[in-house]
Structure 1
Amino acid sequence: MSDMFNISDPGPELPAANADWPVVRDWRKQTRAKLLEQRIGISAEDRAAWSERISQALAAALEPYAGQLIGFYWPFRGEYDPRSILSSMRDRGSRLALPVIVEREQPLVFREWSPGSLMTQGVWNVPTPESGEAVLPNLLVVPLVGFDEQGYRLGYGGGFYDRTIAAMPTKPRTIGVGFELGRLETIYPEPQDIPLDSVVTER
């Protein structure tokens, strides 16, 4: 994990340690909205500089997985764009796969992707492979809205990645990728939340 990044606006007040789920859910919703606002508002200059540092760190983190099947994400809403780094992994023999939301409150399905794959607009208008057999990646590169010191991830609230990882016959390695402004003291993890193996930010 990288050094703490101080932001001027700390966001919603942290709930009590023993807060019940409705309180935590409301806090997560407010925190998610604040982090998304901050992420979308990153200046072009900072985004380019931070993304370059993330790319360097992500390339190093992916080095042991050359030649393996890697699941990644198509960026939206100001997310770090991993496509050039993952494409370079494909040039080195890795296969790549993108997630598809087939049904809400169900695990994601990963379909193999390569440049030129026929794409369709999925949920939230994120491009996904139009067809293909489901595959099981060895490694997942996972987008972050927020994350905490224990590696728990704050996503968009659908629980798709936790549900998917729990349903896989063999747990894949997971690398969360995002900007340091998403670092939180805690996300107040629930029993179904699965921590990431590592997190890559610009720091």
Structure 2
Amino acid sequence: MSVTDQKAALREGLIRARPVVGPSDQAYDFMAEAVRALMPAGGCRLAAYLPIRRELDPLPIAERLDPYPIALPRTPQTPGPLDFRLWSPGQPLDEGRFKTREPAVDAPTLADERILMLLPLVGFDSRCYRLGYGGGFYDRSLAQFRERGQAVIAVGLAYDEQHCPEPLPIEATDERLHGVITPTAVYGPGQND
């Protein structure tokens, strides 16, 4: 079975395993403190996402950190990196390519600054590799930031049920995360390799 086929099979089961009810306030407090601990001295811009398909919602974490405006992605019409734009609650959102909600096309772009990026995922392993929906948008975005020399701390947000006990199949284009935060745990690469 090819890596692409292995990922597709995993993806289907992991999406079904997502809880219907989101985390408790106490779990969001825990996750916000875990994110705060990863923020570099001197500050950084928080980049996040607006959830789809029962993804873990990062906005309650952002609200506890009060980092507005945050950067949210706009999905390009053709495969490529995401276009991060600044957004604050109450500002308009456009409908994106995959029925996602995105900042307006004329919203300010993300400057060349340090970023702590919260990423959605379908599944993750103990090495902090993530399984997404298969479009490669976040992997291309992280690679682009790295190529530009922009400092990015990439952290996945997931439910505990999205942890894969076995290593995920990976490809050369798959970017390893700096960590994954769930409602009950923080995973870092190298902890369980």
Amino acid of the residue matched to residue 189 of structure 1? I
**Following TM superposition, by how much is the alpha carbon of 1:191 offset from its aligned partner in structure 2, in angstroms?**
1.2
Residue 82 of structure 1 pairs with residue 58 of structure 2? yes
| Distance in 2 separating the partners of 1:48 and 1:141 | 16
| Partner residue, 1:102 | 76
| Partner residue, 1:116 | 90
Q: In 1, are the aligned partners of 2:71 and 2:84 still within 8 Å (CA)?
A: yes
| Partner residue, 1:68 | 44
Q: Deviations over 1:125-160 (max 9, x none)?
A: 111011223215611001121001110000010011
TM-score by structure 1 length? 0.78
CA root-mean-square deviation? 2.0
| Distance in 1 separating the partners of 2:61 and 2:125 | 25
TM-score by structure 2 length? 0.82
Q: Which runs of 5+ in 2 are unaligned?
A: 185-193
Q: In 2, are the aligned partners of 1:107 and 1:163 still within 8 Å (CA)?
A: yes
Q: Deviations over 1:74-115 (max 9, x none)?
A: 01101111212212323xx55311011123311001000101
**Following TM superposition, by how much is the alpha carbon of 1:188 offset from its aligned partner in structure 2, in angstroms?**
1.3
Change in CA separation of 1:52 and 1:82 when aligned onto 2, cut-off 3 Å? farther
Q: What is the aligned residue count? A: 174
Change in CA separation of 1:67 and 1:87 when aligned onto 2, cut-off 3 Å? farther
Structure whose CA Rg is larger: 1
**Following TM superposition, by how much is the alpha carbon of 1:56 offset from its aligned partner in structure 2, in angstroms?**
2.5
Residue 57 of structure 1 pairs with residue 30 of structure 2? yes
| Partner residue, 2:11 | 32
Q: In 2, are the aligned partners of 1:67 and 1:95 still within 8 Å (CA)?
A: no
Q: Which runs of 5+ in 1 are unaligned?
A: 1-14, 16-22
Change in CA separation of 1:135 and 1:48 when aligned onto 2, cut-off 3 Å? closer
| Distance in 2 separating the partners of 1:56 and 1:89 | 10
Q: Which portions of structure 1, spanning 4 or more consecutive aligned residues, are displaced by more than 4 angstroms?
A: none
| Larger helix fraction of residues | 1
After superposition, residues 145-164 of structure 1 pair within 5 angstroms as 145-164=122-141
| Distance in 2 separating the partners of 1:141 and 1:147 | 14
2:108 to 133, 138, 141: 133
**Following TM superposition, by how much is the alpha carbon of 1:68 offset from its aligned partner in structure 2, in angstroms?**
2.5
**Following TM superposition, by how much is the alpha carbon of 1:174 offset from its aligned partner in structure 2, in angstroms?**
1.0
